[in-house]
Structure 1
Amino acid sequence: AKEAAPGSAGSGTGSGARSGSRATAPPKLTASIIRTASLTVQVKDVPKALEEARTRTENAGGYVGNETTTRDAEGRERTRVVLRVPVEKYDEVLAELEGAGKLLDRSAKAEDVTDQVVDVESRITSQRASVARIRELMDRATKLSDVVTLEGELSSRQADLEALLARQASLKDRTSMATITLSLSETPVKKPEKKEEGDPGFLDALAGGWNAFVTMLRWLAVVLGAVLPFAAVAAVIVLLWLRVVRPRLPRRPRPASASASAPGSGSAASALGPLPVARSAPESAPARESGEED
């Protein structure tokens, strides 16, 4: 019996140690993960694909968030919508959205926030205990000054507690509901290839000539518009020259004409002397002599 005592004691000690180790073992935590995904899908009909995405989300227990719809320069519609779905249905809904059309881009992200969740829960527990202590002190306070001081402290600690509760709610929402940002764009319509054109006909030539004529008139109008200011200035300068400047200029004397110089020709001739006489006169002298003899 004495030998059994140490054994029993030892067995008791061992069982106590094992029970103590179980008591001090940290509790198993559930991972808290924030899941987000972004999809860009090309579809034939954007409104129809958007309605199907809404239906899938609501059937999964989620809801539709922000939505933006635009149109590009070619008139194609683009829609961006934020979907919130439960984490349990996240993979299923994501696969359905990817198969709605041609997948152009996909990105997924998983952020582990387990430490933040545990920290916030611990701080909330401590803050609640602190608020309870302040309230107990207020119940025991007898002086007005102590009551006023405790009320200020209570308000501050309650504000901190409300901030922690709001953060806890945000983490719970983000970890329980996954966020999927879906971008839908229309499939570009292929333009028909141009057929090879044959030889141009009369109408084609007429249209080409008319286009060339219109283009020429357009260029003439442009040139006229560019030259018109300079032409107006030149016309004003010429008009001023003819009407104002030219009449005031001194006139030059006119050169003497042939008729005007006739009266003075005698004086000029007398100054130069007699004109030479023709030498044919001496040849007529014998003829006169022969006449006299007869």
Structure 2
Amino acid sequence: MRTTTHPRRRGRRTRSGTRPSGRLPAAVLLGAALVLAGCSADSGDSGADAAGGKAAAPGAEAGRQGAAGSAAARSGGTAGSGASKPAPSSVVRTASLTVRVKNMTEALDTARTAARDAGGFVGDENTRRDEDGSRHSEIVLRVPTEKYDEVLGELEGTGELLRRNSKAEDVTDQVVDVDSRVKSQRASVARVRKLMDRATELSDVVSLESELGNREADLEALLAQQASLKDRVGLATVTLTLSEKTAAARKTAAAEDDPGFLDALAGGWGVFLAVLRWIALVVGALLPFLLVFALGAVVWRRFLRPRLPRRPAPATSPAAPGTLPSAPPARDGKS
């Protein structure tokens, strides 16, 4: 009995000794899957929840790491900014000028030359001509911020300055915020790519590719915003409006300014109406006083004057006796 049982036990031991070598990798993989499933359940990432099934674990892990990395980058950026010196100010400068010139061509050449010499360029240019022959031009110049004041001085010297409007907008907070978000988003994209390199299941790869596409799109939007801010801060925008009147237009305007018969008639009529208006104003101002004086005169004549004692009439002296009539002269006998 003993001789028959020992080989069987040895065989069993040999079999049992060889089985763990095949079960050990499966147990390790199962444990890793459980750990990933637990991490996915705790993260609650929206991109991982949409994937579902086995693909939820890598997607949730990417979302958890991305969110943690973004928060860490923001907090780190805030702490770093507090510890280090403040970021340089970022100011967007814009200006608009309206100038009346005698020669439009020379003024435009001066504006273009000023922009090129300052290291800038002409962004837009539009010229039109009116019916009377006068020309109007609008040109947009982009010049470096450090040459902003110098270019404005040159443009004002092209003619008679009619209007000037300048504006400065501080965008330092926007620049700092966008730079921090770009760094965080780049780190998030890099983490998702690392997860893709370690993914083995097709569902995991699909979920991570979707998450990577969303994050790369967000990164591109942030980069575009960053480039726009950099362009606006580095280059000031100057809008120059030029107006020119030709000789014919000036003659027409001068002829229109010369007075004629109708102009004189209209001017005289206007003066006549103005005089009537002033007379009416004077009469209106004196009317209350005239009414009071008239009422007082009526009361005096009808009520007060009759009651006053009359003065006796002065006695008349008797008439002086007249002279006797003289006798007619005597006639002689001859007559």
TM-score by length of 2: 0.50
CA distance in 1, matches of 2:103, 2:153: 19
**CA pair 161-23 structure 1, distance change in 2 beyond 3 A:** closer
Q: Which amino acid aligns with 1:127?
A: Q
Look up the match of 1:29: 87
Shift of 1:47: 1.4
Secondary structure in structure 2 of the residue aligned to 1:69: strand
Q: Which amino acid aligns with 1:25?
A: A
CA distance in 1, matches of 2:126, 2:145: 24
**CA pair 173-196 structure 1, distance change in 2 beyond 3 A:** closer
Give the gaps of 5 or more residues in structure 1.
1-20, 198-294
**CA pair 188-146 structure 1, distance change in 2 beyond 3 A:** same
Report which stretch shifted further, 180-189 or 114-123: 180-189
Look up the match of 2:235: 177
> Is 1:44 matched up with 2:102?
yes
CA distance in 2, matches of 1:53, 1:142: 63
Give the gaps of 5 or more residues in structure 2.
1-78, 261-335
Secondary structure in structure 1 of the residue aligned to 2:200: coil
Look up the match of 2:31: none
Shift of 1:22: 10
Secondary structure in structure 1 of the residue aligned to 2:169: strand
**Cα displacement string for residues 198-234 of structure 1 (whole angstroms, at most 9, x for unaligned residues):** xxxxxxxxxxxxxxxxxxxxxxxxxxxxxxxxxxxxx
**CA pair 170-196 structure 1, distance change in 2 beyond 3 A:** closer
Look up the match of 2:114: 56
> Is 1:114 matched up with 2:172?
yes
> Is 1:67 matched up with 2:125?
yes
Q: Which amino acid aligns with 2:119?
A: G
Secondary structure in structure 2 of the residue aligned to 1:37: strand
Secondary structure in structure 1 of the residue aligned to 2:111: helix
- RMSD of aligned Cα (Å): 2.4
Shift of 1:98: 0.6
> Is 1:76 matched up with 2:134?
yes
CA distance in 2, matches of 1:54, 1:22: 44
Q: What is the aligned counterpart of 1:157 among 205, 209, 215?
A: 215
1:110-259 to structure 2, matched below 5 A, reads 110-187=168-245, 189=247, 190-191=250-251
Aligned residues: 177
CA distance in 2, matches of 1:23, 1:78: 50
**CA pair 23-110 structure 1, distance change in 2 beyond 3 A:** closer
Shift of 1:73: 2.5
**CA pair 131-40 structure 1, distance change in 2 beyond 3 A:** same
**CA pair 103-148 structure 1, distance change in 2 beyond 3 A:** same
CA distance in 2, matches of 1:23, 1:88: 26
Shift of 1:187: 4.1
CA distance in 2, matches of 1:77, 1:170: 34
Secondary structure in structure 2 of the residue aligned to 1:73: coil
Secondary structure in structure 1 of the residue aligned to 2:179: helix
- Contact (CA 8 Å) 2:135, 2:245: kept in 1 or not? no
**CA pair 195-142 structure 1, distance change in 2 beyond 3 A:** closer
Q: Which amino acid aligns with 1:171?
A: L
Report which stretch shifted further, 186-195 or 106-115: 186-195
Secondary structure in structure 2 of the residue aligned to 1:65: strand
- Contact (CA 8 Å) 2:133, 2:245: kept in 1 or not? no
**CA pair 181-157 structure 1, distance change in 2 beyond 3 A:** same
TM-score by length of 1: 0.57
Shift of 1:188: 6.3
Secondary structure in structure 2 of the residue aligned to 1:182: strand
